[in-house]
Structure 1
Amino acid sequence: MTLRSTARRAAGLLLLAGLALAPAARAETPRVLAIITSADPQAQGMAFVLLGQMRQQGATVEVMLCGPAGDLARREPPGPAAAALRPMNATPAQMLQNLVRAGMRTEVCALYLPNAGVGPEALIEGVRPAAPPEMARRMLEPATRVLPF
């Protein structure tokens, strides 16, 4: 083999290696926006387990709580939001609080507070009311996966 053919072969291998790595280099961090509306504590708990796993696997995770799920974000959650689930012996509200403390962006839908008859002071620290125009923009971003629970 001549020096010239060896150089050509090496250049071809480098080009193939670069093409193989290019998609990985351009890949964005996965973004997940979970919309939790379920009143079922097991569905809520499973949502938080899965969202926690997604965060551990590198995804950016955000949550919007609406309807009965909004109760999870209250300083004193009513009813089923206060029931512990097995095997983790934590309530869905406690699971949410742990994710919020870990930095997960969490909002209640714009309709929750006025219809629950409470103000933003009823929410745990780190949770705020959603702004519909901003939420809609984030939902429409091509890199965002919207997951309903």
Structure 2
Amino acid sequence: MSFKTTLTLAAAATAIGLSGAALADSHGHDDYADKALFIVTSDSLQTQGMAMILANAMREQGTTPHILLCDAAGELGVEGYESETELGPRGVKPEGLMQMMMGEGASVDVCAIFLPNTEYGEDDLREGVGVAAPGPIAEMMRDPNIPTFSF
């Protein structure tokens, strides 16, 4: 089932009062909306922040986010990195939201080419941040049951 079809069915189910879980059970998808892949590449503080806010909102709704940090966003995975400013209205930083989600079950990796193309090594990553292997990420991207979002 395509993501668009799933969204259409979810909207129809909501209109008639079925929950997403009920919809999933009725179509045999036990892991309906269980996972989502967030690919963050932007160096924009607001874009990084919104990616983390949306990933967290999905986590609160029962989805387990997998966050892939590439290019400039890879810095979020580096121990000691801190964004220059906090985002309003709640005074949060993208790396703070990311770390909070990691404590709640989200997984975070830097892209496979991030470390070899920076001065950082694996020892420089925050605790719990891994290095993505292309194969498993490609499998997630190909899985029609795992939506992929890019920021």
> Displacement, 1:75?
0.8
Q: List aligned pairs for 1:119-138, cutoff 5 A.
A: 119-138=121-140
Alignment of 1:25-44 (within 5 A): 25=25, 26-27=28-29, 28-30=31-33, 31-44=35-48
How far residue 23 of structure 1 moved from its aligned partner, in angstroms, is 4.5
User: What's the TM-score, normalizing by structure 1?
Assistant: 0.79
Cα-to-partner distance string for 1:121-141 (whole Å, 9 max, x where unaligned): 111111100011111112111
Structure with max Cα Rg: 1
Instruction: Note if contact 2:64-2:105 (Cα within 8 Å) is conserved in structure 1.
Output: no
Percentage of pairs with the same residue: 35
**Unmatched tracts of structure 1, length 5 or more:** 1-20
- Residues 23 and 95 (structure 1), Cα distance of their counterparts in 2 relative to 1, 3 Å cut: closer
How far apart are 1:87 and its partner, in Å? 1.4
Q: Give the match's secondary structure for 2:91.
A: coil
Q: In proportion to residue count, which structure has more helix? A: 1
Partner residue, 2:81? 77
Residues 72-117 of structure 1 deviation map (CA, whole Å, 9 limit, x = unaligned)? 1111216xx3421111212111111111122101110001111111
Given the two structures, how large is their TM-score scaled by the length of structure 2?
Answer: 0.78
- 8 A Cα contact 1:29 1:58, kept in partner: no
Q: CA 1:133–1:24 in 2, change beyond 3 Å: closer, same or farther? A: closer
